[in-house]
Structures are given as C-alpha cells and as structure tokens.
C-alpha cells in the first residue's frame, strides 16, 4: 500500500491476469491481419508493454501522444497531438491501446482522425472504463475493468505526473487529490 492511496482497486496479479486474457483474445481476433497497436502515451505505456508480450501473432506497434487535459486533471475537451504516428495507417487494422476512458473525448477525437486517414478498421482496447464520466457516446471494443467515478493512479496512470510507476492501481486520498 502507498501512503497517498485510500484503497487499492487492482493488484499487480489482477492486472496481469486481465491483460493476459485480453492478449489471448486479441491474438485470436487479429490472426492473419498484422494489426498495428497504437499506444496512447503516456498513461497506456505499462498496459501496452504487458499486453503485446501476450500477443502471439505478427503485429506492429506505434505511439501517439495526445493532450486532452489542461492544467487541472479534468478533461478540457481541447485535444492536441503532441506526437504523431511514424507511418501511414492507410489500409491497416488498428487497435488503439488506452489506459482509461472517462469523458471519451480523447478517444472520439483519435478514432475520427485515424478513420479519416483511411485505416481499414479502428478498434479500441481500454484497460479501464469509467462509464459514469462519459460525455460522448463511445464504447471500447475490448476492456479489462470498469472503474468507479474516482480518481485512480498507478500502472501508468498519473496525478501530476506522479504514481505512474506503481505496479498496482488505487484511489488517491482526497487530501492529495485536488481535482
């Protein structure tokens, strides 16, 4: 347990089991398609790294950095590309790898640009889904866990750039989190 956390929601073992199962599922669904897995930095980096180790078919990886949050930890609705993909996605089967879907604004924007770039298919694999936070109608094609409407950190997810390194996921104490 970390002193800044109120409770642990998912242990390292629970995360690894869920990510492993998702890897098996994706390996079946994308066999023969040479999918391109797109990691949305920085939050999804741990999830991506563990997920691709559980994919046993030919695949490729790329990375994108998108900013959907301003100075506070609430979504601003303003989405900017900070780092774009290295290659064209035209005709490719894409899997967007996201750590968390909250308002859905980031993902709605990202799906739109990738479809506009003429990808063959664009699907979303999310580690966490916070359905109560949704502002746009978007559902992940694959997800590991639903989470309550609390601010969570760990396993890639940050608060003010901290806690990404925790191997588990928990809820921040209210006196630490000033949302």
Ligand X SMILES: O=P(O)(O)OC[C@H]1O[C@H](OP(=O)(O)OP(=O)(O)O)[C@H](O)[C@@H]1O
Show which residues are catalytic. Answer: 102
Shortest distance (Å) from residue 15 CB to ligand GUN: 15
Q: Is 124 in the site for ligand X (CB under 6 A)?
A: no
Q: Which residue, 109 or 159, is less far from ligand GUN as judged by CB?
A: 159
Per CB under 6 A, which of residues 39..68 are in contact with ligand X? 40-43, 67-68
Scan for tokens 């298919």, then name that residue: 121
Closest CB to ligand X among residues 33, 42: 42
Find out whether 15 and 155 touch, Cβ atoms under 8 Å.
yes
CA distance 126 to 129: 7
Q: Is 153 in the site for ligand GUN (CB under 6 A)?
A: yes
Any idea what the Cα angle at residue 53 is, between residues 49 and 57, rounded to 5°? 125
Closer to ligand X by CB, 52 or 138: give it: 138
Among 39, 157, 166, 169, interactor with ligand GUN by CB under 6 A: 157
CA distance 19 to 26: 10
With a CB cutoff of 8 Å and minimum separation 6, the contacts of 17 are none
Q: Is 102 in the site for ligand GUN (CB under 6 A)?
A: yes
Smallest separation (angstroms) from ligand X to the CB of 73: 7
Does 36 interact with ligand X (rule: CB under 6 A)? no
Q: Which of these, 19, 110, 15, 125, lies nearest to 66 by C-alpha position?
A: 110
Pairing assessment for the beta strands 93-101 and 121-129 based on DSSP bridges: parallel
How many binding residues for ligand GUN (CB under 6 A)? 9
CA distance 64 to 96: 10
The verdict on 94 binding ligand X (CB under 6 A) reads no
Q: How far is CA 58 from the centre of its chain?
A: 21
Nearest distance, CB of residue 103 and ligand X, angstroms: 3
Q: Given the rule CB under 6 A, which residues bind ligand GUN?
A: 100, 102, 130, 151-153, 157-159
Kindly list the residues in this chain that would bind ligand X in the complex (CB under 6 A).
40-43, 67-69, 75, 98-107, 158
């Amino acid at each position: 347990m970390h002193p800044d956390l109120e409770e642990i929601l998912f242990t390292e073992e629970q995360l690894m089991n869920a990510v492993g199962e998702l890897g098996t599922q994706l390996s079946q669904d994308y066999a023969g398609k040479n999918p391109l897995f797109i990691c949305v930095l920085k939050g999804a980096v741990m999830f991506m790294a563990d997920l691709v180790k559980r994919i046993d078919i030919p695949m490729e990886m790329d990375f994108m950095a998108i900013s959907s949050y301003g100075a506070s930890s609430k979504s601003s609705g303003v989405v900017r590309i900070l780092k774009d993909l290295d290659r064209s996605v035209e005709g490719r089967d894409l899997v967007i790898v996201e750590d968390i879907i909250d308002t859905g604004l980031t993902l709605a924007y990202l799906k739109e640009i990738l479809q506009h770039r003429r990808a063959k298919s664009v699907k979303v694999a999310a580690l966490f889904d916070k359905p109560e936070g949704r502002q746009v109608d978007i559902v992940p094609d694959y997800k590991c866990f639903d989470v309550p409407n609390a601010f969570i950190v760990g396993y890639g997810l940050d608060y003010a750039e901290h806690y990404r390194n925790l191997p588990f996921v928990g809820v921040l104490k209210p006196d630490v989190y000033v949302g």
